Amino acid sequence: MAKDVLCEVNSCKYWAAENKCSASSIYVVSHHNGTNARNSEETDCKTFESRI
């Protein structure tokens, strides 16, 4: 399991100093209905919540 999760999306409510993610868990999904993604462009972070 990752020790630190980094994120550069500072409009997310879980974004913290030094580009750290402060969410208690991370949920990432594939664009292919649950099948294998081939690269990061084929995935989305569903943990994102706007801080605005």
Digitized pLDDT (tens) for each residue of the chain, 52 residues in all: 778 999 999 999 999 999 999 999 999 999 887 678 999 999 999 999 999 8
Number of domains in the chain: 1
Q: What does pTM read for this prediction?
A: 0.81
pLDDT of residue 36: 87
Q: Which domain holds residue 9?
A: 1-52
User: Helix, strand or coil for residue 19?
Assistant: helix
pLDDT of residue 3: 82
Burial 15-42 (b: 16+ CB within 10 A, else e): beeeeebebeeeeeeeeeeeeeeeeeee
Q: Is residue 31 a contact partner of residue 38, using CB atoms and an 8 Å limit? A: no
